[in-house]
Every structure is written in structure tokens, then in C-alpha cells.
């Protein structure tokens, strides 16, 4: 858990360096997208205290870093069928009643289960929460004389909820992230226009930099910021497409 928080802090620091000093690679194959559920938003959901306890018991993650490489194994990958298997380390504790089937889309799902566990818990409706509590109480009354483990809780939530609520919430989070990225800076197309204009003007900047030392460096810094910003928008769009496709398939398989 500590490592995850340290990694998140490091990412924020790297983002600042990218904006200030332009350490950016265009079309970076090792780029990452951070997606998170705001902890302050949890206070406004129904049964927030109960859900917070379940999140803690499951050691659930409210943040995740999505490497660009995950898209190579998603629904829209151009790789052949044999290579289209998720590398996220997916593992479901499937239904003990047999009512909840293994999702057909599992091998294409690029989102980490640690994050989906959290989203399933947050997205639960009141009647679903009551069913989860009932299942866990039955487990406690089975004579095993133990407290439910994190895996027990994950299994109970999966049994009751499946993926639909989690994927619906994920789509919403990604749409919100795109809105935040575009606010005040426009769309990917606008970023492309800026970068195209920069390329056209680059030679003029070089000539001008011979007369003023600031012209080229300021243009380069701006270029780096736009490249990074465009890359984040692109990743958000692509992961949003993956989430929307998963949600559509999940809806078809709802019991």
C-alpha cells in the first residue's frame, strides 16, 4: 500500500517536471494514465460508512495507473486472437451459487481487479448491500468461527453485483477526466493544430532564436506541454472506449 502512494506522489512530481521543463517524448509507448475515485466523493454516496468499512476490509484501491501497453490486449487491439489476453493479473472469486457466470469479456478486460473491487463496492445499491451483508452473515454462521476475509467480501460483492455498476462508474470517471483535460485547453484536434503550427514555425523560431535567446526555449516548453496534454487525452479516450465496450458486453450478460 505504501509503495502505491509513493508511486502516485512520484507521478505528480513527474507531471510537474514535464510541464516546467519539457521532459516529454511524443507518442510515448510507456505513457500512463492515472484514474481515481475521489475519496471526498465517497462521503456523498448512500451507506458511505458501511462501504468505507468494506473498502478497508478488502484493501481496495481507489486509484490506479493504467499503462498504455494494456491497450495491446484490449477489445480493440490489432494483435491476433492468441495474443489477446489481459496482462493485468485478473482473478475473480466466482459465484458459489452458480448464478453468476464467468464473464465472456474477461480476457479482454484491461482494468485491474484491485480497482474494480473498489468500484463494485462504491456502486452498490442499498438492496445489494443488504444482500452482501446477509451472505457474509451466513458465512459467519457456517461454524467456521472466523471473520470474513478480504476474499470472502470480494466474492460476496461479486455474487450480488457483478461488474455492471463498477463499469458504469468507471465510464463516468473516465468521462469526467476527459472533461477536466479539455477544460480550458480544447480537444485532441486542437492540440494537433497547435503542434502542426509549431512544426511549420520551427525554422522561423530557430532563426529568431539567433536574435533572442528566449524564443526557442519558450516554444519548446509549450510544445512539450501540448504533447503531454494530448497524450493524456488520447489515453483517456482509448481507455474510455475499452470501458464502454466492457459495459456494453456486461449489460448483455446480466442475469
Specify the fold of 27-252: set domain protein methyltransferase, domain 2 (3.90.1420)
Residues of the chain with confidence (pLDDT) below 70: 1-25, 79-99, 140-146, 199-220
Residue range 107-140, pLDDT digits in tens: 899 999 889 999 999 999 999 999 999 988 887 6
Residue range 141-171, pLDDT digits in tens: 655 566 788 888 988 898 899 999 999 999 9
The pLDDT score that the predictor gives to residue 5 is: 43
Q: Where are the domains of the chain?
A: 27-252
The pLDDT score that the predictor gives to residue 174 is: 97
Beta bridge partners of 64: 35
Q: Output the CA–CA distances (angstroms, integers) from residue 114 to 62, 121, 212, in the order listed.
A: 9, 11, 52
The pLDDT score that the predictor gives to residue 214 is: 44
The pLDDT score that the predictor gives to residue 139 is: 74
Amino acid at each position: 500500500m505504501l509503495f502505491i502512494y509513493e508511486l502516485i506522489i512520484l507521478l505528480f512530481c513527474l507531471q510537474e517536471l514535464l510541464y516546467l521543463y519539457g521532459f516529454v517524448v511524443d507518442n510515448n509507448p510507456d505513457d500512463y494514465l492515472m484514474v481515481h475515485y475521489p475519496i471526498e466523493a465517497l462521503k456523498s454516496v448512500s451507506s458511505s460508512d458501511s462501504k468505507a468499512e468494506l473498502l478497508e476490509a478488502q484493501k481496495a484501491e481507489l486509484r490506479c495507473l493504467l499503462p498504455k501497453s494494456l491497450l495491446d490486449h484490449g477489445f480493440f487491439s490489432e494483435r491476433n486472437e492468441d495474443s489477446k489476453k489481459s496482462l493485468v493479473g485478473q482473478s475473480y472469486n466466482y459465484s458459489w451459487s452458480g448464478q453468476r457466470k464467468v464473464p465472456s469479456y474477461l480476457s479482454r478486460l484491461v482494468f485491474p481487479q484491485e480497482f474494480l473491487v473498489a468500484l463494485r463496492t462504491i456502486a452498490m445499491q442499498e438492496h445489494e448491500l443488504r444482500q452482501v451483508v446477509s451472505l457474509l452473515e451466513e458465512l459467519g454462521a457456517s461454524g467456521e468461527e472466523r471473520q470474513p476475509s478480504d476474499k470472502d467480501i470480494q466474492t460476496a460483492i461479486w455474487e450480488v453485483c457483478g461488474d455492471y455498476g463498477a463499469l458504469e462508474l468507471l465510464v463516468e470517471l473516465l468521462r469526467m477526466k476527459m472533461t477536466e483535460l479539455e477544460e480550458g485547453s480544447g480537444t485532441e484536434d486542437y492540440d494537433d493544430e497547435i503542434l502542426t503550427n509549431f512544426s511549420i514555425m520551427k525554422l522561423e523560431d530557430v532563426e529568431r532564436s539567433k536574435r533572442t535567446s528566449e524564443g526557442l526555449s519558450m516554444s519548446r516548453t509549450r510544445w512539450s506541454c501540448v504533447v503531454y496534454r494530448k497524450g493524456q487525452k488520447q489515453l483517456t479516450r482509448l481507455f474510455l472506449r475499452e470501458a464502454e465496450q466492457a459495459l456494453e458486453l456486461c449489460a448483455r450478460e446480466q442475469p
